[in-house]
Amino acid sequence: NSTAPFQPLTVEALPARLGELEILASKLGPDSTAWAVREVGDGNLNLVFIVEGPKGAAVVKQALPYVRLVGESWPLPLKRSFFEYHALVRQEARAGKGTVPAIYHFDETQALIVMEYLSPHIILRRALIDGRELPSIASDLGLFAARTLFRGSDLAMTARERKADLALFAGNVELCDITENLVFTDPYFEAELNRHTPELDPLVVELRADRDLKVEAQRLKHLFAANAETLLHGDLHTGSVMVTDDDTRVIDPEFAFYGPMAFDIGMLLANFWMSFFSQAGHEQEGSRASMRAYLLRTVSDTWSIFRAEFAHLWRTERTGMLYASSLFEKCGDPLGAEQALDHVLHSLWQDLLGFAGVEIHRRILGLAHNADFETIGDEVLRARCEAPALSFGRHLVVNRRHLHCAEDVNALASLIEKEV
Ligand code: ADP
Ligand code: MG
Ligand code: MG
Ligand code: MG
């Protein structure tokens, strides 16, 4: 199979094509004619099949040579599957088993990954739209981010190992290019693939004429492109997390790339804030007051758990070339190490606010919108949710150096949300 040239799978052809795969036979049962297959990909890029047999189930994710959302007119390399596979392996090693789906098999030529079927998990974004307060996401995702970002950097890895890894992921050019353009540039001018809710027109004109905003967005892009600090997930939004009340799994790291630590955590918090601003659009079946409070609590808890874990790793696993303990703890200057930690966390905080701001803008003004707002059918109501989110995002991008803690930023989000 893996010597044959790439061919997209279909629901009909999958059992015959993957029937010989030992790992699938052992998970599902050896008679592939008894397997039931459905395609469930709801993402923008790839095919995702759930395969169920008499013994169990598995997921098969396959890349296509183009962007699924757009079609064959937008080619995209199959190699993204290679980067996704290698990122999943590293995330599991760094954040622990059970933080990502277990990986059963990878076929580079067919650009397919066979992995654990997460069930009864649902996409976190969906759960938040439904008004579900998941009790452990702040802790699970704060730890996931701290562990993957710290352990993938020069704070923890040997220089040789990290540089080899950097070289491996440097090939993920086309997916990185999507981020560079769709996130940092397109929202700020009339790019061809952009769209927005028509009621937002006046605000959109204002934002695209906002020189300070455009300059800051480009400075953030500069930071994203030039700071190869750690292996990022690269697409860590609430649609890349699957949950039950007591389990949290991060999926879909095909955008994995070396970039600034603040990018992943900023994108994640942006998605919690967008969920917060979208709640008014989902209020028909009852008040979302408790959900709003929960979402802001999730922002501050995620950040404080991230910070605590990052500080813990700094004190116990700082084995890389940066801030060597020979300069600090080992010559009786533990305070020096703490001072350096404060500097690192402080710039991480400021940068993440900026990344959060542009992520909010691109989800409302760019090509790839998110269901939090898109599922609000009434356009006037949707615009009433999106407008304050845009203002909030603008504030984060432009004033991020003057915002001190998650509680202050949350208070601001509440204020802006009530004003409109
Ligand atoms: P894309 O890269 O196209 O966005 P994703 O990896 O995000 O693809 O998967 C698309 C959808 O498939 C997810 O939103 C989820 O519903 C489903 N899915 C993906 N991986 C799994 C899994 N391991 N178990 C169960 N469902 C999954
Ligand atoms: Mg996805
Ligand atoms: Mg767990
Ligand atoms: Mg994806």
In this structure, the residue with its CA closest to atom 23 of ligand 1 is 117
* Domain boundaries for CATH 3.30.200.20 within the chain: 14-116
Strand ranges, E, within 147-232: 230-232
- Does the pTM surpass 0.95? The reply is yes
pLDDT in tens, 2-43: 578 999 999 999 999 999 999 999 999 999 999 999 999 877
Q: For residue 63, what are the CA distances in angstroms to 9, 57, 70, 113, 304?
A: 10, 20, 14, 9, 36
Pick the CATH number of 122-419 from 2.60.40.2310, 2.60.40.10, 3.90.1200.10, 3.30.2090.10: 3.90.1200.10
Domain 14-116, what fold? Answer: Phosphorylase Kinase; domain 1 (3.30.200)
* Domain boundaries for CATH 3.90.1200.10 within the chain: 122-419
Has residue 420 got a pLDDT over 70?
no
CA–chain centroid gap for 290, Å, is 25
Residue to mutate (ligand 1; options 37, 48, 124; most atoms within 8 A of CB)? 48
Helix axes of 137-151 and 80-95: crossing angle, nearest 10 degrees: 110
**What is the C-alpha separation between 20 and 195, in angstroms, rounded?**
45
63 lines ligand 1 (CB under 6 A): no
In this structure, the residue with its CA closest to atom 12 of ligand 1 is 41
Give the Å distance between the CA of 346 and the centre of ligand 2: 30
84 lines ligand 1 (CB under 6 A): no
pLDDT in tens, 271-288: 999 999 999 999 988 999
Query: What's the N-to-C CA distance of the chain in angstroms?
Result: 57
Which secondary structure element, helix H or strand E, spans residue 36, and what is its range? strand 36-39
pLDDT in tens, 125-162: 999 999 999 999 999 999 999 999 999 999 999 999 99
pLDDT in tens, 178-197: 999 999 999 999 999 999 99
